[in-house]
Structure 1
Amino acid sequence: MIPSGASAFVGLAPVVLAVFLGFLALSVPLGALSLELGGNLGFGTFVVGLVIGLQSLATLSTRHQAGTLCDQGGPRKAILIGLPLAASSGVAYVLSSVLPLGVEGKLAFMVAGRLSMGLGESLFLTGLMSLGIARLGADRTGRVMSWTGIAIYAALGLGAPFGLTAQGAYGFLAVGLITCLTPILALAIIVRLPPAPAVGGQRVPIHHVLGLIWRPGLVLALSMVPFAVMAAFLPLHYAARGWSQAGIALFGFAAAYVLVRLVGPGLPVRFGATRIAVGSLAFELAGQALLWLAPSPNIAAMGAILTGLGFSLVFPAMGVLATRSVPPDQRGRAVGNFMAFADIALGVTGPAVGLATQWAGLSAAFIVGAAATGAALLLIPLIKLRTAP
């Protein structure tokens, strides 16, 4: 375990950097995929949403197994399998660009890339978060989740505009190459760290863990819907309106998210996790409403910023409540299954909102985001009654 103070930051820094690099591989293709599929290859919004959502569905199907592997085999094992799988998704994107294929063949390689990333992310993120908790100690789980959350959404916010820029300059091939490279860099960092011991424990059925964490997990899932909506459909919404630089709005979301994490990481402890979650979800709801009604790209960017300000503290607040609910030898499974709720949101939102936008237009995506955050607000009292913040 890393001692408290400055050395704690030093001990957590390589884990946070590896999370950032791993999630760059996940985020760089997001906006680029929607434009490649919807613009260059001519597929409809349902196919766009389905392909983007497939990654999260693949992640969801393996979260519990990834947590079990971390608990019984140690976090390092999960990481060393997950990061190469993430890099292989970039290989699939490269092949879709360089091989002489029709649109169906290119689509098949993109689907393969999304599935590979889903399996890889399930393993490497669960492993990295479990490694961070092992290095700092269970009493600093909140700090680990806060800083890894910063890394995740900094990567998501920076990766999307970076991917769009690379695609505009060099085509989708550049997106694939970047996706190959960043997990390899993360792997080079992790192999230099000493492995954390496995905590062991008996095999636990998934329904047992879910029964302890489903309330904070469901709030997390609903709070993730606005991000899923923006990642899949904001570039298409901007293009349909004739607006440019959708990447600025996505960057604004990430910048606001990181700013709140940096200036207010102790707010859930100081004022209570449930109270902070209520305020955060209210900001998210306002941001989605503003995106829906925005008459200009500047107003839309303000909506994305409000969404990022709101979402920032939901993840660590709900994550602390989830991990407090289980014994230490089940913590990896709790982390894995808690994050599985985010996978559900990301996997289901894409195709569901794709159908909604075909019927009611692209702006309907943000109505769905607002409705989801409203539902999360209604669930907060259930958590407050059953779990102390």
Structure 2
Amino acid sequence: MEAEIDADTTSSKVSLTIIGFVAFTFIAYVSIGLSLAVLPVFIHQKLGFSAIVAGIVISLQYITTFLCRMFAGNMVDKRGPKPAVTVGMAAFTVSGVMMLFAWLLRDTPLISLGVLIITRLITGIGEGFVGSSPINWAIFATSDEHTAKAISFNGIASYGGIAVGAPLGVIISNSFGLGAISLLIAMLAFGGFLYAKNKTALQGSSKAPRQGFLQVLRKVSPYGIAMGLGGLGFGTISTFITLYYMALKWQGAVLCLSAFSSMFILGRLLFSKAINKYGGMKTTLVCLSVEVVGLLVLWLAPAPYLAVIGAGIAGLGFSLVFPALGVEAVKLVPASNKGAALSGYSLFIDMSLGLTGPLVGFVASQFGLMYIFPFSMAMVVIGLGIVVCLYRAPSKSPPVGETF
């Protein structure tokens, strides 16, 4: 009995320690979410530019996020996660200030748009440097055996941050305008910057020779591609569910998003131990299969409530895909490349979410909205096939003593 109590206490301490670091991820994604739903409206209605221009400006963030992942990973491996997180929080602070200038210049649309373009690029820098850095920080503060929990909690923080930030941004925008959102982002991120400055700097102790980022990226890419294909289900639901409901003349599209997000978070909280117990590959095989079932239910649903159930099943299925494949991916490189491995692996979720809009939008425009879920389901099935091949392939682990 005492042993069980000690184990529970230790587990709670580990969880609290990890939460203390993934709080940076939550701050980052609340900052992103605050402007996510209101900037397109501001660009289209207040500045008078087309919806296409608004979409391009919002998507610019992914460019610098993609580019900065490599630098962040190398920084984590060489100097530890603290400098990377500090740079990220500083970038979010600057982006809030720049957005305020864009709002103040709203009577000169071209200049305001130019400032917003810079703002989005700086936001991408912030996301790129924060990214997976808190995961590494949390692992250094606990141990490598808690990698799956750190990745899972970080995912909850990111999706939870968007879930909190997006509706809050709409409420604040309707009441006070974009200027108030800008100030909130700047203050929130600056608070994160001060918090990071006061946290203890930690660094990996491995003396193994470091591999180049591209070499690391090549090793983790099959896992990242499979994970990215799984992410297309989430991207399709989050981006197109409203249009899908409108096409079917249904009400309550937001319930699908809520069901997906709720079951996603619940799955990570309830089943995070499955990765350590059954292994990342077996867990992924089950999870992607469940996601396929969810997308199938959503596609064939004759009524809105069944679509909500399908979205919930899909969210539950996707919940552990990122951490499960992430744990397996980082096993392929020496411990001295942990930061680069996580950063390289995370690139694929950026690409997945960035490509979902144009890719699924093309399917919708060419074949109709009724085909978006069978298409995304087919992509998840391909991802499942890649995982099956990886599972059957001979194990290629780094030399003994250099694993996590």
Q: Give the TM-score normalised by structure 1.
A: 0.86
User: Unaligned regions of 5+ residues in structure 1, if any?
Assistant: none
Q: 2:226 aligns with which of 219, 224, 231?
A: 219
In 2, distance between residues paired with 1:368 and 1:92? 39
1:288 alignment partner in structure 2:
295
1:152-199 C-alpha deviation (Å, 9 max, x unpaired): 222233333333333444444444344333322322332222111355
CA deviation after TM superposition for structure 1 residue 67, in Å: 0.5
2:401 alignment partner in structure 1:
none
User: Which 10-residue stretch deviates more, 179-188 or 146-155?
Assistant: 179-188
In 1, distance between residues paired with 2:101 and 2:371? 34
1:1-389 correspondence runs (5 A): 4-36=10-42, 41=48, 43-44=50-51, 47=53, 49-101=55-107, 104-197=110-203, 199=205, 202=209, 204-235=211-242, 246-292=253-299, 298-361=305-368, 364-386=371-393
SS of corresponding position for 2:38: helix
1:346-380 C-alpha deviation (Å, 9 max, x unpaired): 22223333444444455554444323212211111
Contact 1:284–1:310 (Cα < 8 Å) also in 2: yes
Paired amino acid for 1:43: S
User: Which 10-residue stretch deviates more, 81-90 or 153-162?
Assistant: 153-162
In 2, distance between residues paired with 1:243 and 1:105? 40
Contact 1:31–1:231 (Cα < 8 Å) also in 2: no
SS of corresponding position for 2:60: helix
In 1, distance between residues paired with 2:252 and 2:170? 9
CA deviation after TM superposition for structure 1 residue 341, in Å: 1.2
CA deviation after TM superposition for structure 1 residue 317, in Å: 0.5
Contact 1:50–1:351 (Cα < 8 Å) also in 2: no
CA deviation after TM superposition for structure 1 residue 249, in Å: 3.4
SS of corresponding position for 2:169: helix
Contact 2:105–2:111 (Cα < 8 Å) also in 1: no
Paired amino acid for 1:256: M
Contact 1:161–1:250 (Cα < 8 Å) also in 2: no
SS of corresponding position for 1:191: helix
In 2, distance between residues paired with 1:93 and 1:362? 34
CA deviation after TM superposition for structure 1 residue 212, in Å: 1.9
Contact 2:204–2:336 (Cα < 8 Å) also in 1: no
User: Which 10-residue stretch deviates more, 21-30 or 361-370?
Assistant: 361-370
Paired amino acid for 1:197: Q
CA deviation after TM superposition for structure 1 residue 382, in Å: 1.6
In 2, distance between residues paired with 1:95 and 1:189? 26
In 2, distance between residues paired with 1:312 and 1:281? 9
CA deviation after TM superposition for structure 1 residue 127, in Å: 2.1
Paired amino acid for 2:33: S
SS of corresponding position for 1:326: coil
User: Unaligned regions of 5+ residues in structure 2, if any?
Assistant: 1-8, 398-404
Q: Give the TM-score normalised by structure 2.
A: 0.83
In 2, distance between residues paired with 1:322 and 1:22? 25
User: Which 10-residue stretch deviates more, 102-111 or 14-23?
Assistant: 102-111
Contact 1:225–1:346 (Cα < 8 Å) also in 2: yes
CA deviation after TM superposition for structure 1 residue 35, in Å: 4.7
CA change 1:349–1:255 in 2 (3 A) is same
Larger Rg: 2
SS of corresponding position for 2:50: coil
Paired amino acid for 2:230: S
1:122-148 C-alpha deviation (Å, 9 max, x unpaired): 111232121111111222211211221
2:4 alignment partner in structure 1:
none
CA deviation after TM superposition for structure 1 residue 87, in Å: 2.8
Number of aligned residues: 386
Over aligned residue pairs, what C-alpha RMSD do you find? Answer: 3.1
In 2, distance between residues paired with 1:258 and 1:124? 21
User: Which 10-residue stretch deviates more, 136-145 or 93-102?
Assistant: 93-102
- Identify the structure with bigger relative contact order (alpha carbons < 8 Å, sequence gap 6+): 1
Paired amino acid for 1:208: Q
2:6 alignment partner in structure 1:
none
